[in-house]
Amino acid sequence: ADAPEKKYALYMMMLGFSALALGTFFGPLQAFNYGGLDLYPLLKPVFQNYYQGLSLHGVLNAIVFTQLFAQTIMIYLPARELGLRPNMKLAWASFWMALAGLLIAAVPLLLNEASVLYTFYAPLKASWAFYTGAAIFVLSSYLSIYIALELWLRWRRANPGKITPLATFMAVAFWLMWFLASLGLVVEALFLIPWSLGLLPGVDPLLMRTLFWYTGHPIVYFWLLPAYTLAYVTLPKLAGGKLVSDPLARLVFVLFLLFSVPVGFHHQFADPGIAPYWKFIHTVLTMMVAVPSLITAFTIAASLEVAGRANGGKGLLGWIAALPWHNPTVLAFLLGFLAFIPGGAGGIVNASFNLNQNVHNTVWIPGHFHLQVGTLVTMAAMGTAFWLIPHLTGKPLVARGLAVASQWLWFLGMFIMTFALHWMGFLYAIPRRAHISGSPLAMEAFKESSAWMALNIVSGVILLVAAVLFFYVIFATALQGHRDPKRVLEEVPFAEAISKPEGSGLARVTERVWFWFGLAAVLVVLAYGPVLYQMFTNMLPVPGVRLW
């Protein structure tokens, strides 16, 4: 790593992949659980039970890995695009804060004192160290928000009147969205930490759930948007073509800024204490947040078509075969996006107020999100690692064939697993977050779906093999002694756009970032304000309980 931001990006990303490696190890154990095979007794005394494994799996994969990858991509890409050095002191401070938070939270997780799953619903209570470590970890992303905004504003001062380059624009919209989105978790931590220390007699579970889901839905776009950014700014070039429309890509990110946050009640359709009309308003807003993904489906597919035709593909579908499927990065994105189609459709089922009653708290839901975050987001990160680690280190990719195999196997494993989970959830109402294999009664109750459940074991084995291959490739690449700068991508592969932002009215309108941010904040206040006000004021008059 010759530039300091390269070293920062490498460390951040490898820390994220280390978390993913450990978290992923528990994945097959969850899959085996749904297949009726309980391997947890074999892991004693190091790991105690299913719920400890599930908490480690969710926290490390969904919270830690995703945030560290965002802190890599959404700082490194704008820095390279603008040719500016980010504030390195703060960048390293964010790294050390994330590491410290992770280590503090890891202790209770490993001691089975924080087995409260990644949603940490009260009244489940974890050790104070878990909430404190998690808070420090999440707050490290606030430094990233500052670093990205400072970088952008520095560029703007030097380039008045110019349209912000695309990756930087995406990073700015992304970090502003995360600032708004993360406030729920920050406020929740202000209750959970004193409660876990015994300073508060209790917390209101409904309020805690509401604060959690305030952040808990937009956090999925916090996971998704680095993948989308890479898909817009690098995939078209890696596939051999161009991005069809730069302004449309900007519109997508503005729509995410506006609609990612005011939607959290769609996780609480079954909760009492929130009037149905509020839930309905959040349903409508959730449908709005699917729109930027539909635009993305169009723009990315069209850009891939441009690439396929530039590679010599002919006819209606010949361009698909002409895409560079042998390139492990392109392959990862193609397969990830294919999985995202049924995943997105499932999301719309979840959001549909009444249909949700059929799938809520069943294994359909883990089926949905393993297509979204487990397949697209993770594969985008894996695929990107195949060029980014060589780019950052000057060391060429080791075992390209295994890299390709890891992506096919990951896709196949996820496909089988999510197919089975959707089926089991929708038709047999098998509950999620349930230790099924530990209870003969539960196995008896779900006998009729045993064929689907057995598929989970198959998928667990395939995913384990895929993970071993992937982690071997990236760690062997990063740790080898051999450098060969000629065989690595020296520059970030930024794609050129066919429809450019210069002269585009849409690009001018989207450039008014502070206006969109203000509007997003107003939407949040309208969609959440009255309900939260009511929840906070209802909480106060409980006789004999002082909450502050």
Q: Is residue 434 within the footprint of ligand HAS (CB under 6 A)? A: no
With contact defined as beta carbons under 8 Å apart, do 383 and 325 qualify? no
**In the complex, minimum distance from the CB of residue 470 to ligand HAS, in angstroms, rounded to a whole number:** 19
Q: Which of 17, 65, 340, 411 binds ligand HAS (CB under 6 A)?
A: 340
**Nearest distance in Å: CB 377, ligand HAS:** 5
Minimum distance from CB of 166 to ligand HAS (Å)?
Answer: 18
| Residue 236 near ligand HAS by CB under 6 A | no
**Cβ of residue 338: shortest distance to ligand HAS, in angstroms?**
5
Q: Which range touches ligand HAS (CB under 6 A), out of 149-157, 183-191, 202-210, 292-300?
A: 292-300
Measure Cα distances from 16 to 66, 95, 273 in Å: 7, 11, 38
Whether the CB-CB separation of 213 and 472 falls below 8 Å is answered with no
Q: Where is 244: in which H helix or E strand?
A: strand 243-245
Residue with tokens 């190890």: 25
> 164: which 2 tokens?
């912000």
For 181, the 3-state DSSP assignment is helix
**Is residue 382 a contact residue for ligand HAS (CB under 6 A)?**
no
In sequence order, the 6+-apart residues with CB closer than 8 A to the CB of 533 are none
Looking at the Cβ atoms of 80 and 368, the one nearer to ligand HAS is 368
Cβ of residue 534: shortest distance to ligand HAS, in angstroms?
Answer: 22
Catalytic residue at 391?
A: no
Whether 368 is a known active-site residue: answer yes
Size of the site for ligand HAS (CB under 6 A): 35
| Binding map of ligand HAS across residues 95-134, x = CB under 6 A, - = no contact | ------------------------x---------------
* Residue 300 in contact with ligand HAS, rule: CB under 6 A: yes
- Closest Cα partner for 43 from 107, 112, 105, 103? 112
- Interface pick for ligand HAS out of 68, 106, 351, 416 (rule CB under 6 A): 351
Rounded CA separation 290/283 (Å): 11
Q: Is position 217 annotated as part of the catalytic site?
A: yes
Least distance to ligand HAS from the beta carbon of 90, Å?
27
Contact 180/520 with Cβ under 8 angstroms?
yes
Distance CA 259, CA 273 (A): 24
Would you please indicate which residues are annotated as catalytic (active-site) residues? 217, 221, 368-370, 432-433
Residues that bind ligand HAS (CB under 6 A): 119, 220, 223-224, 266-267, 286, 289-290, 293-294, 296-297, 300-301, 304, 320, 334, 337-338, 340-341, 344, 347-348, 350-351, 356, 360, 365, 368-369, 372-373, 377
